[in-house]
Amino acid sequence: MSDAAHYNFAYLDEQTKRMIRRALLKAVAIPGYQVPFASREMPMPYGWGTGGVQVTASVLGPDDILKVIDQGADDTTNAVSIRKFFERTAGIATTTHTRDATVIQTRHRIPEAPLKEGQILVYQVPIPEPLRFLEPRETETRRQHALEDYGLMHVKLYEDIARHGHIATTYAYPVKVDDRYIMDPSPTPKFDNPKMDMCPALQLFGAGREKRIYALPPYTKVVSLDFEDHPFERTKFDRGCELCGAEGIYLDEVVTDDRGGCMYVCSDTDYCEGRRAAPHAAAPPIREARR
Amino acid sequence: MSTPDAPLLVAEGLSKRYGQRIGCADVSLGIHEGEVVAVVGESGSGKSTLLGLLSTQLLPDAGNVRYRMRSGDERNLFALGEAERRFLLRTDWGFVHQDARLGLRMGVSAGGNVGERLMAVGWRHYGRIRAEAENWLERVEIARERIDDCPSAFSGGMRQRLQIAKNMVTRPRLIFMDEPTGGLDVSVQARLLDLIRSFVGDYGLAAVIVTHDLAVARLLSHRIIVMRHGRVIETGLTDQVLDDPREPYTQLLVASVLQV
Ligand SMILES: Nc1ncnc2c1ncn2[C@@H]1O[C@H](COP(=O)(O)OP(=O)(O)O)[C@@H](O)[C@H]1O
Ligand SMILES: [Mg+2]
Ligand SMILES: [Zn+2]
């Protein structure tokens, strides 16, 4: 922790943080709109969340309590290294508990516990442009956003149904924000899409390689795109967590041995641990599922 | 507002330069509803430039284009807002390019290509979009079973027919074609020309067709415009111009002396 003295608070210099905050303010003022920003080199490779890290660095204050998750877990390499990075460069407190955190940086998941007013959720975004799939020209996608010219987005969903009989997109499922901009929720599972809608927390999205920031202010309307006869459906799991018994939450398949044994457990490790620690949650006995 | 027999589109004094080079110079013309106009001339005579200006893909250095909207209002096309212009392009107009890759999304299924315009104007019922796409594929003689295939798997003739279906789905009143049969085998050309001819007849389409092939002009158009060095040098009813050309240049064209 004493390392913090060697760095400017949260690594980035004040000038850079101001620049990023200006981009954030604009992003908050125009929900879902991608604001360009001068992304900086960070002491970690792209793909490791440099966009999210820069956003986090710009919003952190000395009293903040930071939580970092990757695929829902606090203990993955990526999450641990980002958490350590801020412990070292900002000397701030960290936590694994969703309810205690003031800032949560995430890759691929939104925590299961409902977020509260005053919290900030920072997403690491690899590809911010939802229209890129069908229109590689940046000049054209920008114009499409400006003119709300979004037929193309439904072409993608149409193709999904034509090929698979249903909308097969399960990650990075496109949403319409505040009845205006179409936005890529980053590679979170579509299971998490409904949590973005009218969320009391501030949601910030940072794409480092692509140099874009976008945001959802608290209580913003977020609607998943669909067709009248193929409505958006949240992923359903036909089982509960084998560790804590929770149902209706997002499960990961965990391989338990080298003979094909696996089990289904909460992807949100803090949520799972919290349920197991709580006296009222009688966890079922741990058993091995075989396929 | 204007009278019903007023032209659908009126161009006045259209000029466009590329640096020192003349693209097209002082071109005026009118196109009526249901009228097919062929633009002919040698390579480099300004046909594509004129088509680009009429369809607002290019901005003129001088001149203007007025258009009678579906509402009946006459509008200066270069004064339209971008959103309004795009809406016009994808509802009331169509484009058939010689190179199908400019008119189609090659990695999207035939059904998705035809459905795109419908989705752009707000259709949100998959079943209805698909039924409409099937309907139009059938009308351009593409088998229903091909609806989920990408145009990259289609022959040249099928791609052109798919372009037509993609445009027709919003029932445009005016369609622009730049060498629509160029590069196709003769028998494939003939089938496509038949299809275009029946479409303009059945749907009362107005069309501007750029072609270097006078046989195509003869078969499809009511009126012909002959261009040279960016200018219109002769215009009139197709049969009259082709059977009895006044200008010496047109006479050479008709006699197939010029390499067009
Ligand atoms: N993008 C461009 N840049 C420069 N010159 C051009 C461009 N497009 C067309 N021209 C020139 O303008 C003239 C008319 O071209 P074009 O309209 O393509 O004729 P056509 O379609 O009859 O072959 C030609 O001299 C051509 O070389
Ligand atoms: Mg040309
Ligand atoms: Zn659990």
Question: Residue A32 and residue A13: Cα distance in Å, rounded?
Answer: 27
**Would you state the structure tokens that stand for residue B199, as one six-digit string?**
């479409």
Report pTM: 0.88
Question: Residue B126 and residue A227: Cα distance in Å, rounded?
Answer: 6
What is the separation of C-alpha A3 from the centre of its chain, rounded to a whole number of angstroms?
A: 29
pLDDT reported for residue A280: 58
Q: pLDDT tens across B135-184, in order?
A: 999 999 999 999 999 999 999 999 999 999 999 999 999 999 999 998 89
Q: What is the largest CA-CA distance in chain A?
A: 59
Assess whether the C-beta atom of B49 lies below 6 angstroms from ligand 1.
Answer: yes
Q: Which chain A positions have a beta carbon within 8 Å of B147's beta carbon?
A: 162
**Would you state the structure tokens that stand for residue A160, as one six-digit string?**
């999904």
pLDDT reported for residue A275: 96
pLDDT reported for residue A133: 83
Mutation site, B109, B119, B148, interface A, largest A CB count within 10 A: B119
* pLDDT reading at A283 higher than 50: no
Question: Residue B231 and residue B21: Cα distance in Å, rounded?
Answer: 13
Tell which phi-psi region holds residue B204, choosing left (phi > 0), alpha (psi between -120 and 50) or beta: left
Going from the C-alpha of A251 to that of each of A41, A55, A280, B190, the distances in angstroms are 35, 28, 21, 60
What does the pLDDT average to over A139-162? 94
Assess whether the C-beta atom of B44 lies below 6 angstroms from ligand 1.
Answer: yes
DSSP H or E segment with residue B257: none
The helix/strand/coil state of A181 is strand
Across chain B, mean pLDDT equals 94
Spacing, Cα B217 to ligand 2 middle (Å): 15
* pLDDT reading at A83 higher than 50: yes
Q: Provide the pLDDT confidence category of residue A47 given band limits of 50, 70 and 90.
A: confident
pLDDT, averaged per 10 consecutive residues of chain B (260 residues), comes to: 76 97 97 96 95 96 97 95 93 96 96 97 97 97 97 96 96 96 90 93 95 93 97 97 95 76
Helix ranges (H only) for chain B are 47-54, 82-91, 100-103, 110-120, 126-139, 156-168, 186-203, 214-220, 238-243, 248-254
What does the pLDDT average to over A243-270? 93
pLDDT reported for residue A5: 66
Residue with tokens 């204007």: B2
**Secondary structure of chain A: what % helix, strand, coil (to 5)?**
30, 20, 50
Sign of CA dihedral A32, A33, A34, A37: negative
**Would you state the structure tokens that stand for residue A275, as one six-digit string?**
């349920």
Catalytic residues of A: 32, 241, 244, 266, 272
Q: pLDDT tens across A154-207, in order?
A: 999 999 999 999 999 999 999 999 999 999 998 999 999 999 999 999 999 999
Helix ranges (H only) for A62-150 are 77-90, 138-146
Sign of CA dihedral B202, B207, B210, B215: positive
pLDDT reported for residue A11: 93
Question: Residue A189 and residue A249: Cα distance in Å, rounded?
Answer: 12
The CB-side HSE value for A51 (13 A sphere, CA atoms) comes to 29
pLDDT reported for residue B3: 56
Spacing, Cα A282 to ligand 3 middle (Å): 11
pLDDT reported for residue A288: 41
ipTM: 0.91
Task: Nearest chain B residue to A167 by CA: give it.
Answer: B126
Q: At what angle do helices B156-168 and B186-203 cross, to 10 degrees?
A: 10
What does the pLDDT average to over A141-166? 94
